[in-house]
Amino acid sequence: MGKSYQERGVFICDEEAKNIYTNKAYQEMTGCTREELLGLGWTSCIHPKDLPSVWSQALRLYSRNSEMENRHEIQCEFRLMHRDGSFIWANCQPVDMSGFSGVGTFVGILEDISWRKEAEESLRQSEERFLLAMQGSHDGLWDWDMVTNKVFYSRRYMQMLGMEAEESNGNFSVFESRIHPEHHNAVITSLGEYLSAHGLDSHPFEVETPLQMKNGTYLWFRMRGQALWDRNGTAIRMAGSITNITERRNWEEEQARLIANLADARDKAETTAKARSEFLAVMSHEIRTPLNGVIGMASILLDTASTPEQQECLETIRISGECLLSIINDILDLSKIDAGKLNLTPVPCNLRNLVEDVGSLLALRGEAEGVEMVVHYRSALSAVFVDAVRLRQVLINLVGNACKFTHKGYIAVDVSIVCSTCHQEFFLGQKQYQKEISDRVFFPKEFNKSSSHCGEEEQLSPIQMPHQMLQWFRFSVIDTGIGIPADTLGLLFEKFTQCSTTGTYGGTGLGLAVSKKLVELMGGSIGVESTEGIGSKFTFIIPLELDPSAEQGHRAPTNDLCNEEAHEEEVHSVAKADRLPKFAEQRRVLVVDHHEMTKEVVCEQIRAWGMESRACNNVSEAVTILKQSTHENEPIHIENFGQEMERARAELPALKGPQLIMLGHVGQSLPSQPVLAELGCCACFNRPTRQAYLRNALAVALAGIPTTLALPHCTLNTGKLQNLHFGPFSNPCLLFSNGKEAVKGEDSPRSLTSASQSTVHKSRVLLVEDNKVNQMVAVRLLNTLGCTVTVACNGIEALSILECPSTYDIIFMDCHMPGMDGFETARLLRQENHASHTVPIVALTAATSEGEVEKCIASGMDDYISKPVTKAILQRALDRWVGQESCCMTAGTDLLP
Amino acid sequence: MDVAKLLQQHVDLMDDMFKEGLLDEQFNQLQQLQDESNPNFLEEVVSLFFEDSQRILENMTETIGKDPIDYKVIDSQVHQFKGSSSSIGAQRVKNVCVTFRTYCDKEDKKGCQDALEEVGEEYNLIKKKLETMLELEKQIVAIGGTLPFMEGC
């Protein structure tokens, strides 16, 4: 249909309907010549498919001939074929000429109407598409003529609502009657609002409502529509669709129901967990209280038991009780961790002190069997943020285990920094255990030459510059105990497994499970290496944030001791600081001790301070060395101890020269000052060696003060040297250590043990408690434990009492008091500028419920004990927080004139 | 009366109090705290407990008598009472206090009133027994006897 024809084609036929004339336009339309068309029938060029309708029309035309006046108006349309196969749509207007003879009987005028046909066709297709779409769509359509109130409902619409055919041309009430009564008003109102808003720009009308089906039930539909308004703003027409949203609504309802169910289930689970947690807290409290009674009473009876058999029985009761108590605590911890209720509270902490505390605390356990305890803190960094309570718990657990399973040799606690890449490979390779022991863990030879603490650490520093505030610390607890069979190593950290030694050693093995969880909670990992019969090594690594506000104690090895001293103790003696550096480098220290590990650690520490250090095992070796060195006119300082010391003094003419520092054995009462002076010692402290003790002792020795004058308070262990008057130095010094055999005669292991149980704390205690009865009981209990007690009735009183710095060793704080409660008081006390902000605070709480304990720790308290307080509970708290130092102080203060 | 008889009475009384659950092991501990240096400790602490309790009970009665009841105030008073009674080992008084606090939590007026009555009864009971006990102990000491829990001190 490419061509279009402006001219009309004309043909004339005779009676036989054969062309007798064709004009040019007709010839062009058909593509035939005039000659070819002559004699052809006029219908010969019509598309065969259109012929039937043309014939029928032509027949009608003839049959009506007689009666119809205006028959010329009859027209027919057909496709006129071109000889090349194409066609045009043509309208043929026949003119009957039968009345005019000679001209032919029939004239036809053809008009090209292809353009019109095309338009019609496209309109038809479009309508068809619309119809198809309407029929195919799931939406029902409606069209509301608001002037006549006629509504057209599509077939689909009717189908959706189950409408009868007669309703198809209904009015608006057909729709309205089906709206659910409960929604009727809302729908009509919102429709009214929409129509009165009359703006084409406005959003289409949309409402969701249930509509009634033919069977009376309701389904949910979304109805959408758009209205047309006339100039006066009157709505005249509105059309739109309805969509069945029943499924969606059901799904939404289901969803909401599920969510509600889930919330319900969650609430139930939370309630259950809370109930469990509370139950455990209550139960553990209920179990602990009578248990403490048992343990406490056993301890009291133990002091008065007359026969060894009775003592043994009571000791068994006490130990069993302690064991049960620790199991209960472990179970409580585990369940707390499992319930996700255990939150870590990192606080500023001196890591070295923490580790040394643990060493000191547990050294006594091994001492009875002659097991040596050494703390080797390699890192120069010690001011960190850590949950001290929990880290201590892990360390005490591991070291405690080591004590339990080690009967000879030593237990070493080794702390160092690892690089961030090393920690990832932490437990990938099981290095040969023996090699570990000899090469790496225990003070390698090259260590002695190196002036730095740790080569590993030194390499790290430059790499780690950007992340320096976070360091990975490695804690290893190495023992020479019975070891663990290889096949059970993997099970070690599981709950309730203890590698079949349970029979011999007791315990549930929960401790390691707790430790593992705690380490993981701290972001670290824990592992173990062990060889049966040789020993075990438990190692864990954790990332710790360094405390930027605190002095890290990183000092060049050439720094003199007394400068450090001044720093740490905040003693600012200009004279001291000026004088001491000059000779610190010249000093030599001879360490006399038969404990291999102690010897190594002490020597290494002394070298780290830039002094020379040698070690020997006993007095005769020392004598030989000293004789040589005096001969060479070299000053030497020796550490050693005790009865042997007298022998040493006697055998050593040269000892007029060196200063002696006595190293007492674990838990030993230190000798009185006159005794110390008689022995020729200028200072003394106990094993296990602590860096601060050693430094203080050396500071005294190096100052060269005559002993009798030098130590008005011969309590080096308290670490307080403020009262020392440093005279001009004269003599070199000597450090001696006691041998185990030296004390065997006077102190049996039994008396050592019981001495530790009934440790007398001459601590100064501040009790903050409002309840008068509680005050009285607690004061009396603390008095029997040897403490001096001051009472404050509430937080405000406590704060005013604590204005003076460090008058108290420990504070016991009730949580609930009128005026200012314990939490607020602790918070205020813990502010850095407070004079007493370092004093340990132990909360007294009536409930061991979860929230309460967390509140205590969050407010800055260090520990909590549950009320009512008993002697045993208080004793444990004192042991833990005032601990050994106060015992040592006891020995010291006793000696005061 | 001879010492042995008095001592027997004392033992029976103590046994009764423990058996009836009036006292718990906390009281044992207090007895242990009495020695030559503090010969009257028990009496002192028990008297203090009486004094304290009397005051708290009066305060509680006043609080409960008010309308509306300030449940926070009554709760903190019960807390006080619970503290001192558990310190002295008067466990039945303590137990009633525990229940009492749940009524305070629930703001249950009737419960609180009943609990106050109950706690008063329990307190009077233990008070009478403890007074008898102290009287016995005084007599024992007066005629030169030694209290059982102080032997060996």
- In chain A, residues with a C-beta closer than 8 Å to the C-beta of B87 are 771, 773-774, 777, 867-868
DSSP assignment string, A430-483: ---HHHIIIIIIS--HHHHH-SSS-HHHHHHHHHTGGGTTEEEEEEEEEE-SS-
DSSP assignment string, A649-681: HHH-GGGGSS-EEEEEPTTPPPPPHHHHHHHTE
Determine which of B30, B34, B87 to mutate to test the interface with A (most A C-beta atoms within 10 Å): B87
Cβ pair A571, A565 in contact under 8 A: yes
Residue with tokens 């002036």, as numbered in its chain: A451
Whether B118 contacts chain A with CB within 8 A: no
- In chain A, residues with a C-beta closer than 8 Å to the C-beta of B49 are 773
CB atoms within 10 A of CB A143: 14
CB atoms within 10 A of CB A221: 24
Q: Class for domain B3-141, per CATH? A: mainly alpha
pLDDT of A748: 31
Give, for A536, the enclosing helix (H) or strand (E): strand A535-546
- Average pLDDT on B62-79 reads 89
| Closest by Cα among B19, B133, B28 to B89 | B28
Residues in chain B: 153
The sign one gets for the Cα dihedral B80, B85, B86, B87 is positive
Cβ pair B22, B46 in contact under 8 A: no
| Closest by Cα among A588, A607, A893, A617 to A739 | A617
Residue B39 pLDDT level (bands cut at 50, 70, 90): confident
Distance of CA A347 to the CA centre of its chain: 17
Whether B100 contacts chain A with CB within 8 A: no
| Closest by Cα among A704, A698, A622, A609 to A661 | A698
The Cα–Cα gap between A263 and B56 comes to 44
- In chain B, residues with a C-beta closer than 8 Å to the C-beta of A812 are none
Taking an 8 Å cut-off on Cβ atoms, the answer to whether B79 and A846 are in contact is yes
Cβ pair A1, A104 in contact under 8 A: no
Which residues are CB-contacts of A161 (< 8 A; sequence separation ≥ 6)?
A140, A178, A211, A212, A213, A214
| A299/chain B closest Cα distance in angstroms | 12
pLDDT of A433: 38
Interface of A with B (CB under 8 A): 289-290, 293, 296-297, 300, 304, 770-774, 776-777, 780-781, 784, 816, 818, 846, 867-868, 870-871
| A868/chain B closest Cα distance in angstroms | 5
Which tens digits make up the pLDDT trace of A347-396?
A: 888 899 889 888 877 887 777 777 888 999 988 788 899 988 889 889 98
Q: What is the DSSP letter of A46?
A: B
Three-state SS at A530: strand
Distances (CA, A) of A178 to A157, A174, A193, A206, B141: 13, 7, 20, 17, 99
Structure tokens given for A736: 């001696």
Cβ pair B149, A300 in contact under 8 A: no
Q: What is the DSSP letter of A267?
A: H
Whether B39 contacts chain A with CB within 8 A: no
| Closest by Cα among A396, A417, A352 to A515 | A396
Taking an 8 Å cut-off on Cβ atoms, the answer to whether A871 and B83 are in contact is no
Edge to edge, the sheet with strand A140-145 lists A150-153, A140-145, A235-244, A218-229, A205-212
Three-state SS at A693: helix
Three-state SS at A259: helix
Q: What is the DSSP letter of A768?
A: E
ipTM for the predicted complex: 0.83
**CA distance from start to end of chain A:** 133
The Cα–Cα gap between A669 and A675 comes to 12
- Average pLDDT on B120-145 reads 90
Nearest-by-Cβ selection for B87 from A296, A818, A868: A868
The Cα–Cα gap between A614 and A607 comes to 9
Whether B105 contacts chain A with CB within 8 A: no
pLDDT of A758: 42
Give, for A612, the enclosing helix (H) or strand (E): strand A612-616
| Closest by Cα among A156, A343, A328 to A241 | A156
Taking an 8 Å cut-off on Cβ atoms, the answer to whether A846 and B84 are in contact is no
The Cα–Cα gap between A734 and A639 comes to 5
Taking an 8 Å cut-off on Cβ atoms, the answer to whether B76 and A816 are in contact is yes
Which tens digits make up the pLDDT trace of A843-896?
A: 888 764 556 777 777 788 888 887 788 888 888 888 888 864 433 333 333 323
| Closest by Cα among A687, A739, A685 to A715 | A685
- In chain B, residues with a C-beta closer than 8 Å to the C-beta of A774 are 83-84, 87
Distance of CA A805 to the CA centre of its chain: 37
The Cα–Cα gap between A673 and A828 comes to 40
Taking an 8 Å cut-off on Cβ atoms, the answer to whether A868 and B84 are in contact is no
- For residue A222, report the phi and psi dihedrals to the nearest 5 degrees: -105, 125
pLDDT of A802: 85
Taking an 8 Å cut-off on Cβ atoms, the answer to whether A773 and B32 are in contact is no
CB atoms within 10 A of CB A290: 12
Taking an 8 Å cut-off on Cβ atoms, the answer to whether A776 and B45 are in contact is yes
Record the pTM. Answer: 0.42
Which residue ranges in chain A fall short of pLDDT 50? Answer: 1, 427-467, 498-504, 506, 554-584, 633-635, 641-643, 654, 705-759, 848, 884-897
pLDDT of A59: 74
Distances (CA, A) of B110 to A564, B78, B120: 68, 16, 16
pLDDT of A672: 62
Nearest-by-Cβ selection for A870 from B29, B38, B83: B29
Nearest-by-Cβ selection for B82 from A289, A772, A846: A846
Taking an 8 Å cut-off on Cβ atoms, the answer to whether B29 and A781 are in contact is yes
- In chain A, residues with a C-beta closer than 8 Å to the C-beta of B83 are 771, 773-774, 846, 867
| A774/chain B closest Cα distance in angstroms | 6
CB atoms within 10 A of CB A25: 19
The Cα–Cα gap between B44 and B33 comes to 12
Q: Which residue of A has its CA nearest to B24?
A: A290
Distances (CA, A) of B111 to A18, A665, B71, B104: 121, 62, 12, 8
- In chain B, residues with a C-beta closer than 8 Å to the C-beta of A784 are 33
| A162/chain B closest Cα distance in angstroms | 57
Structure tokens given for B108: 């249950």
Q: Which residue of B has its CA nearest to A871?
A: B29
Determine which of A299, A776, A815, A873 to mutate to test the interface with B (most B C-beta atoms within 10 Å): A776
Taking an 8 Å cut-off on Cβ atoms, the answer to whether A289 and B25 are in contact is yes
- In chain A, residues with a C-beta closer than 8 Å to the C-beta of B88 are 773, 777
The Cα–Cα gap between A144 and B109 comes to 66
Taking an 8 Å cut-off on Cβ atoms, the answer to whether A771 and B28 are in contact is no
- In chain A, residues with a C-beta closer than 8 Å to the C-beta of B76 are 816, 818
Determine which of B43, B80, B100, B123 to mutate to test the interface with A (most A C-beta atoms within 10 Å): B80
Nearest-by-Cβ selection for A871 from B29, B84, B86: B29
What residue type is assigned to position A1 of the chain? M
pLDDT of A680: 67
Residue B149 pLDDT level (bands cut at 50, 70, 90): confident
Residue with tokens 């590990």, as numbered in its chain: A597
Taking an 8 Å cut-off on Cβ atoms, the answer to whether A297 and B28 are in contact is yes
- In chain A, residues with a C-beta closer than 8 Å to the C-beta of B102 are none
CB atoms within 10 A of CB A753: 15
